Amino acid sequence: MIKENAEVVVVGGGVIGVSLAYGMVKKGAKVILIDKVDNRLTASRGNFGLVWFQGKGKGMPRYVEWCIEAIERWPEFAENLETETGFDLNYEKTGGLEICLGEEEHQERVNFIEEMSHASRSGRYDCEMISRKELQGMLPKIKLGKEVSGASFCSHDGCVNPLILLKAMNISFQQKGGGYRPEQSVQKIECNSNDFKIETGTHSFKAEKLVIACGLMTPKLAGMVGMKVPVIPERGQILVTERTSRVFNYPTAGIRQNYDGSFMLGSSHEAVGYNIETSYEVLQNIAKRAIRILPSLKNLQLIRSWAALRVLTPDQKPVYLESDQYPGAHAITSHSGVSLASIHSSILVEWILEERIPPGFTAFHPKRFNVQEAI
Amino acid sequence: MNSIRVPKFDYIIIGAGPAGMAAAITARAHGLSVLVLDEQPSAGGQIFRNIESLEATRNSEFSKLGQEYEFGSSLVRRFKKCGADYFTDRSVWQIDNNLQIHHVSASASKSNSVISHCQAKRLLIAVGAMERPMPLPGWTIPGVMPCTAVDVLYKSSGLIPDGEVVLAGSGPLLLLIGCRLLDVGVHVSAFLDTSMNGALLKALPLLPNALRSHKYLTRGLSLLWKIRKAGIPFYSGIQNIEALGSSKLEKVRIGKSGKFFDVTADLLLLHNGVVPNVQITRNLGCEHRWYDVQRYWEPIVDDWGNTSVDHVSIAGDCGRVAGAAISEVSGHLAALETVYQLGVISKVERDNLSQPHRIELARQKHVRPFLDKLFQPSKTWLVPENDKTLACRCEEVKVSEIRETVRMGIKDPDSLKSMTRCGMGYCQARMCGLTVSEIIAEEKKVSPEEIGYFRVRSPIRPITLGQLAEID
Amino acid sequence: MFKKQYESHETVSIIFEGKNLDVEIGQTVASALLVGGNMVFRSSVVSGQPRGPYCMMGVCFECLIEIDGIPNQRACMIPVREAMKIKRQQKTKSE
């Protein structure tokens, strides 16, 4: 058994775990990051790479504000990472679109934006509806399909290469002295008065603080340290085309043209358990919708596809929790790990290391689910 | 999808090479409804490529190809008469779990060629083998090709190389193609033998078996003699090969015992063995194992070609590579198994009918272990030492980048893919998959068996979004 | 560099990079271009390196070329047709 000590052990090498670990070593903490053996079910390697705000947080104004803050920190966060590692994250903050087909979708979107604007505490919802004509004006190089009725546009939104982001944070973490331990599966957690002992098959780690951010495995590990964190998997399928010249310069939730010219198309929301197979019907539906929005896409060749599992809490908003039973043990789970990487690596790190609790933090406590159940 | 409109078959066979054709013939003989899908415009697979046309219109060349080709020709004739539905120019791009198969034209240059679907009760994958990629510095320069490429050009199009040709690699196929080139007057300016030192010695324990079918052995030796007799510069123990040229190949730099010298070349033909094309079996989720002697992945099958996936079997060189004769036999056996599984014959009948094929298999099979051992791919040519060599041609990922990523802590191919883009290009890891398994294995000091392979996703080959959406 | 070993029979006329080329029926686009001495079919999408046909059997995707305005077609799998317009493709740059 290899023995190692640290101030903090982070369990989970996905975008959330890595952003936390990265933020912590930047603060000078001695951190070990444990990554699992089986990388097939990871959401971080299967996502769309949106740095996104619009559409998020309905029903939880605190989360809306959290998202705005995260997105405002993103440009500096990206610049720092690029300077530290020399990698180009391909981060583009162009503003983002949700394109509507037909009148019904359009009206639904109008209503949604209005609702969110009213609910916004800071009044900074910054999302507006644009007409089909305005939208076509924003896209001079590609023709919109006949059914496109308009879109919502949010200037905060953008996109990034999520794989390079993951790689850059990991490398910067290691460069700053962080210990990356892949191929580890946590088997046992021992809670002592001053520290935690985490055992994998080959290693035994000791740390004052423990951070559990391992996606779909979070409930299991959190349960070992007295925390109840409910998550469910939700499958999303994505298509990637061949490269072509850049014609579509704004990301949308279902279509984006990557920096290298390939188009990524998504996605689905399927409750299929832990199944990461792709399915003909879903891929076909994604292609159909994309073509209805941008008809010239029909001539692009599809090169590959994949499916990955989102990690969703019951209301799809984050859970940030410290164990009552074993203080020092934390559990973090969230959708939007990419968009929130900037705030996870800063404010959340302050919460973990310095116990600086952000205002309104109780909104993210999982007891809110019990309240919902009770109702 | 309206399942009424989808044509159903008892047996769908992908690939019309020796294995696929034999399977179709046997299945049809027992009354099964059979559909054969093949990408090429005519039957024969790679070895018997364009054989009907060769026999009909280029008969003098055809007769020079040897007795094996007469057998091939006869097989094609029997296949064409057996009553199977046979669609040429079809490329399978997706196979569903329930064995619904989606295919599209392999050659249509108009992107709106239509997708077709069909439904199988049982599926045979008989897509054959491909050349093992032989990465070396400069291997992406136009003018560097695997040796079978000239075989294809010769058989399908009647083309022969014009200019200086260098042959490099090891394996019986390289010798065979080398001799054919000499026969048609091609100027071979050098033969670079990369086979492992002492290979013949290692293979000797297997020699007694091989001699039972000595014609293979003597043919191989005669090829070697022929090349040497023609006065072609023959270099063995080669440690480095680099292809050089600006927009196309100009010369080949050869390194032997620390000394380097250049040979002018217009064409560099490489060969480092033949490996099963596992793209479809991987996509279906069949279990594979690592065949260490020849350093490739093969689907795990039983004596009838059944894979680990229900109702899916393989035949021919997309499993253990064994050549046309054995491929044909394995096709018959796989079909008999299917006929039995579909309840048309009993187990005893199946076993009885398989006897002649089993005997033939035993007769042919013993030579393979000898050849496999004799022509084991050597390490130098599996894991490029020169770090700047491209491991992934499509995405231009260097060997050095892969090594660095493994040293960063990444061990499984799919994570490596995320980090480097290796395997994300058009060919979807057909050209780099083996190399990646080897590099990671070397870095981690384990067998590639432990490392595994990329997950192969749909589409099995590219299709347009318009085709997928099934719009006009 | 390749040459025909026997006399051509029926031919069709195709257009490669604006120039007419008479090629035998039954040739693939790849073999037709190779006979004409054209080894370079495209520049690679990543770095612009010159690339040409490699495996000739449809597995490597190196022989991608633009045919009748549609890019990224496997030349080794496509038979020539009368009046086919073939163009090399350049690396697509993201702007």
Q: Are residues A340 and A359 in the same domain?
A: yes
| pLDDT higher than threshold 70 for residue C93 | no
- Indicate whether A259 belongs to any domain: yes
Q: Is B442 or B66 the better-scoring residue by pLDDT? A: B442
* C-alpha distance from C72 to closest chain A C-alpha (Å): 8
Name the domain boundary from A312, A331, A350: A312
Q: Are residues A288 and A349 in the same domain?
A: no
Average pLDDT, chain B: 90
Range of the domain at A142: 96-154
A260 touches chain C (CB under 8 A): yes
Other CB atoms within 10 Å distance of the CB of residue A370: 12
pLDDT at B471: 74
A301 touches chain C (CB under 8 A): yes
C57: left (phi over 0), alpha (psi -120 to 50) or beta: alpha
Beta carbons of A301 and C72 less than 8 Å apart: yes
Question: What percent of chain B is modeled with pLDDT above 90?
Answer: 68
pLDDT at B101: 96
Tell me the two tokens of residue B348. Answer: 């005893």
Question: What percent of chain B is modeled with pLDDT above 70?
Answer: 92
Tell me the two tokens of residue B275. Answer: 């490996």
Beta carbons of A245 and C92 less than 8 Å apart: yes
Query: What mean pLDDT comes out for the span B321-327?
Result: 92
Name the domain boundary from A128, A154, A180: A154
Beta bridge partners of B306: B313
**Which amino acid would we find at residue B437?**
S
Residues of C in contact with A243 (CB under 8 A): 45, 92
Query: What mean pLDDT comes out for the span A162-172?
Result: 94
| pLDDT higher than threshold 90 for residue B376 | no
Q: Are residues A204 and A240 in the same domain?
A: no
Q: Are residues A186 and A137 in the same domain?
A: no
Instruction: Find, among A219, A225, A194, the residue nearest to A5 by Cα.
Output: A194
Task: State if pTM tops 0.80.
Answer: yes
**CATH number (domain holding residue A290):** 3.30.9.10
Q: What is the dihedral of CA B340, B344, B348, B353, to 10 degrees?
A: -80
- Indicate whether A84 belongs to any domain: no
Q: Are residues A286 and A221 in the same domain?
A: no
Q: Are residues A26 and A13 in the same domain?
A: yes
C25 touches chain B (CB under 8 A): no
Q: Which of B150-154, B177-181, B395-399 has the lowest mean pLDDT?
A: B177-181
Give per-residue pLDDT as tens, B111-145: 556 789 999 999 999 999 999 999 999 999 999 99
Q: Are residues A73 and A134 in the same domain?
A: no
> Which residues are CB-contacts of A302 (< 8 A; sequence separation ≥ 6)?
A239, A240, A241, A287, B459, B462, B463, B464, B465, B468
Q: Are residues A251 and A346 in the same domain?
A: no
Is the separation of the CB atoms in B275 and B231 below 8 Å?
no
- How many domains would you assign to chain A? 3
Q: How confident is the model at residue B206 (pLDDT cuts 50, 70, 90)?
A: low
Beta carbons of B418 and A300 less than 8 Å apart: no
Instruction: Give the separation between CA A333 and CA A348, rounded to whole angstroms.
Output: 12
| pLDDT higher than threshold 50 for residue A374 | no
Beta carbons of C56 and B426 less than 8 Å apart: no
This complex has an ipTM of 0.94
Q: Are residues A174 and A224 in the same domain?
A: yes
Q: How confident is the model at residue B213 (pLDDT cuts 50, 70, 90)?
A: very low
Q: Are residues A166 and A55 in the same domain?
A: yes
Beta carbons of B408 and A171 less than 8 Å apart: yes
Q: Which CATH code for domain C11-87?
A: 3.10.20.440
Q: Are residues A123 and A218 in the same domain?
A: no
Beta carbons of A243 and C92 less than 8 Å apart: yes
- Indicate whether A226 belongs to any domain: yes
pLDDT at A261: 93
pLDDT at A88: 96
What is the bridge-based pairing of β-strands B267-272 and B274-276? unpaired
Q: Are residues A74 and A172 in the same domain?
A: yes
Nearest CA in chain C to A261: C94
**CATH number (domain holding residue A167):** 3.50.50.60
Beta bridge partners of A57: none
Q: How confident is the model at residue B371 (pLDDT cuts 50, 70, 90)?
A: confident
Q: Is A354 or B176 the better-scoring residue by pLDDT? A: A354
* C-alpha distance from B151 to closest chain A C-alpha (Å): 28
